[in-house]
Amino acid sequence: MANPKKSALIVVDMQEDFCEPNGALAVKDGRGVVNYINELMSYPGLTLKIATQDFHPHDHISFASQHPGTEAFKSEHTIRNPENEGETQTTLLWPDHCVRGTKGVELIPELHINKVTHIVHKGLDTRVEAYSAFGPPFRNPRISMSELDTILKDAGITDVFVVGLAYDFCVKCTAVDAVEHGYRTFLIEDGTKGVFQSGEAVDGLRKELREKGVVVVGAESEELMALKG
Ligand SMILES: [Zn+2]
């Protein structure tokens, strides 16, 4: 007999630093998706509701402040796997954000935290970037992975729905990694906003996600209606 379908919602990084008006890396209209996310969290078809939190040390490698002469949002930096210097990731640098112990790291108070079943921290290792809630992008070997996959596997989750901030970085990478980890993966566009929001940027994202096996859906999709019951 086939395994029964079991679904989890992953709410990525709904934190003060990613939201207006005070966030260091505020995503335009990012705070506005929280009402829809709260509605989703009340759907009876969801077994787990997991909130993630970008949770950096003060000297994290992704901060432009750690690399003299660079500029946040513009400069790229190549990060090496600390256990295999031949494996690299080249990505943008950011303003200091989501530093442990600061206001910016907190989940926004509008999020219905009482409905959340687990909180997963990411980006704890100062040496590597971790957009995905599963862990850094390195594979040979993997390092500093979060407990997310264990939480999902222990609960028998088959289907994962991803929302939160930001669409083009942590939400995208979490969804792509969920496919790699063997989950049927849906990204709900009504529950996310990107750092770069032009129509061209969003078209490119959708194409990349589909090529990588993520199903991009809207609020009225049949998959979500089934969860709503
Ligand atoms: Zn970060």
Residue 218: pLDDT band by 50, 70, 90 thresholds? very high
50 inside domain: yes
Q: Which of 19, 96, 125, 170 is catalytic?
A: 170
Tokens representing 116 are: 């959340």
3 inside domain: no
- Quote the pLDDT of residue 4: 86
| Alpha-carbon gap, residue 145 to 154, rounded angstroms | 16
Is there a catalytic annotation at residue 122? yes
106 inside domain: yes
How much distance in Å is there from the Cα of 8 to the middle of ligand 1? 23
1 inside domain: no
Query: 57 pLDDT exceeds 90?
Result: yes
Contact of 34 with 14, CB cutoff 8 Å: yes
How much distance in Å is there from the Cα of 54 to the middle of ligand 1? 5
Could you give the number of structural domains in the chain? 1
13 inside domain: yes
- Quote the pLDDT of residue 23: 98
Domain span at residue 190? 9-228
- Quote the pLDDT of residue 3: 65
Greatest pairwise CA separation for the chain in angstroms: 59
Instruction: Indicate which CATH number applies to the domain containing 205.
Output: 3.40.50.850
- Quote the pLDDT of residue 229: 87
pLDDT in tens, 4-40: 899 999 999 999 999 999 999 999 999 999 999 999 9
How much distance in Å is there from the Cα of 2 to the middle of ligand 1? 38
Looking at residues 150-170, what average pLDDT do you find? 98
Q: Which of 13, 17, 125, 149 is catalytic?
A: 13
144 inside domain: yes
Mean pLDDT of the chain: 97
2 inside domain: no
221 inside domain: yes
